A and B are shown apart, each in its own frame.
Chain A
Amino acid sequence: MAALVRNEKKLHLKERLTHTGKNILLNKEKYFLILPGVVWYAIFAYIPIFGLSLAFKKFIAKDGIFGSPWVGMINFQNVFADPAFAQSILTTLRINAGRLIFVFPFPILFALLFNEVRIGRSKKVLQSIFTFPHFLSWVIVASIMINILGQQGLVNSFLKAVFGIQSIKFLGTPSYFQPLVYITDIWKSAGWSAIIYMAAISGIDTEQYEAAEIDGSSRFQRMWYITLPGIRPTIVVLFILAVGNLMSGGFEQIFNLSNAATWKVAETLDMYIYRITFRGSVDFSFSAAVSLFRSVINLVLLLAADRVSRRIGGSGLLA
Chain B
Amino acid sequence: MSAKSKHKYIRNRFELMDVVILIFLIIHAIVIIVPFISVIGTSFATQREAAASKLMLFPTKEPTIDNYYRLFQDPRIAIGYKTTSLILLIGVPVNIFLTTSLAYGMTKTNYPGAKVIFYLILLTMLFNGGIVPVYLLMMQLGLIDTLWSVIFAYGVNTFYFIIMRTYMISLPDSLVESAKIDGAGEWRILFRIILPLSKPILATVLLFFAVDRWNEWFNAMIFLRRKDLIPLQLVLRNIVMDATIVGSLSIAGPRVPRFTEGIQCATIMVTMVPVMCFFPFLQKYFVKGIMIGAIKA
Contact = CB atoms under 8 A, between A and B. Distances in A.
Interface of A: 20, 23-24, 26-27, 29-34, 36-38, 40-41, 43-52, 54, 59, 64-65, 110, 113-120, 122, 126-133, 135-137, 139-140, 142-148, 150, 152-154, 157-158, 160-161, 187, 191, 195-196, 198-202, 206, 209-210, 213, 219-220, 234, 237, 244, 251-252, 256, 259, 273-274, 277-278, 284, 287-288, 291, 294-295, 298-299, 302
Contacts of B15: 219
Given A30-B105, A36-B101, A206-B6, A48 B233 contact: no
B54 interface: yes
Nearest to A289: B132
Given A126-B25, A150-B261, A49 B128 contact: yes
A147 B39 contact: yes
B224 to A, nearest CB: 13
Contacts of A23: 111-112
Contact of B111 (A27, A36, A206, A213): A27
A189 to B, nearest CB: 11
Interface string B90-121: 00000001110110111000011010010011
Contacts of B9: 210, 213
A158 B233 CA distance: 29
B136 interface: yes
Given A118-B14, A273-B130, A129 B156 contact: no
A172 to B, nearest CB: 9
B126 interface: yes
Contact of B264 (A46, A143, A187, A298): A143
Query: Chain B: interface residue count, which band?
Result: 35 or more
B14 A136 contact: no
B249 interface: no
Interface stretch (B59-67, B68-76, B196-204, B289-297): B289-297
A33 B101 contact: yes
Contact of B18 (A48, A118, A160, A234): A118
Interface string B125-168: 01111111111110010000000000011011000010000000
Contact of A291 (B29, B102, B133): B133
Contacts, number: 275
A65 B136 contact: yes
Contacts of B137: 43-44, 47-48, 51, 65
Nearest to A115: B3
A202 B136 contact: no
B85 interface: no
B112 A33 contact: no
Interface string B189-215: 010000000000000000000010011
B286 interface: yes
Contacts of B236: 139-140, 143
B218 A252 contact: yes
Nearest to B241: A259
B229 interface: no
Contacts of A110: 25, 28
A41 B120 contact: yes
Contacts of A135: 211, 215, 275, 279, 282
Contacts of A287: 132
A38 B24 CA distance: 48
B181 interface: no
Given A33-B104, A34-B106, A277-B132, A147 B272 contact: no
B252 interface: no
7 contacts: A29-B186, A52-B130, A116-B7, A120-B4, A135-B215, A213-B10, A244-B126
Contact of B132 (A154, A198, A288): A288
A274 B134 CA distance: 13
A122 B22 contact: yes
Given A30-B186, A45-B128, A295-B129, A116 B17 contact: yes
A32 B1 CA distance: 41
B208 to A, nearest CB: 9
Given A52-B129, A137-B214, 9 more contacts: A34-B102, A37-B155, A37-B156, A115-B3, A135-B211, A157-B54, A198-B1, A206-B2, A213-B9
A119 B26 CA distance: 13
A199 B233 CA distance: 32
Given A30-B105, A132-B279, A219-B17, A143 B131 contact: no
B217 interface: yes
A117 B6 CA distance: 11
Nearest to A59: B136
Interface string B256-297: 000001001101100110011001001100110011001001
